[in-house]
Amino acid sequence: MEIISATAELLGVNCYAVASEANAGDGPRPCILIDAGLDAGPDLEAALADLRWRPVAVLLTHGHPDHILGLPSYAGRWRVPVYIGAADHYRLVDPAATLSEQLAPLLGEFVRGWEAPEAQTVADAARLELAGLEISATTAPGHTEGSTLYDVHDPAAAEGPADVVFTGDVLFAGSIGRTDLPGSDPSAMQATLAAIRARQQPGGLPVLPGHGPASTLGHELQANPFF
């Protein structure tokens, strides 16, 4: 598996592109995109053009505006399907209505005139096969109702990692997502963290969050004070 990333200047959202090693070759290489920060599109587009990667889908970890505002830009470039957790779909329809009082002054101007993109909803335990990758979705409420973890497996991995998990704003290196925003739920977050703690997965599993540096599952279970 090969992964590239670009960080949006607006609130530092990490946006990723992921490709299977099975598709390495001379022709355009299919890939998936994870999240759509407002101004990450041009950087991603340049990197994808250099690599000759071709997006086939965008997977959203949740529906907060900082993670979706780049969708119009993505759609104009690549015209690919969008996936989002079922309980967060309403956030795509009217992101302005979901802003907290704190974030409204910062993000309000960006959601004016918003046209909701068509999106396919992802249920808990859904499995997708895209771009030669096997993707398992896990609903992980707490930060938002429909926050979703995406476990991505590359059956053709030889040099890069075979497995990673994209955690959005659920789990960060050394921290977790806020639970004081509209639609968030501290109790649900605790249940989500308990479920992550109970996962039967290798400690070295890379954790790629929506903000900040990468980590591993084992490190977070040992060092993250929220576990």
Please give the residue that has the higher pLDDT: either 26 or 193: 193
Number of domains in the chain: 1
Find the angle CA(84)-CA(217)-CA(153) to the nearest 5 degrees. 55
Does 186 have pLDDT greater than 90? yes
Q: Is the pLDDT of residue 8 over 80?
A: yes
Q: Which domain holds residue 24?
A: 2-223
> Which CATH number characterizes residue 73's domain?
3.60.15.10
Give the pLDDT confidence of 124-172 residue by residue, as tens digits. Answer: 999 999 999 999 999 999 999 999 999 999 999 988 899 999 999 999 9
**Alpha-carbon span 89 to 102, nearest angstrom:** 22
Q: What is the pTM of this model?
A: 0.95
8 A C-beta contact, residue 132 and residue 23? yes
Categorize the per-residue pLDDT at 33 as very low, low, confident or very high, splitting at 50, 70 and 90: very high
Q: What is residue 160's predicted lDDT score, i.e. its pLDDT?
A: 86
Structure confidence at residue 127 (pLDDT): 98
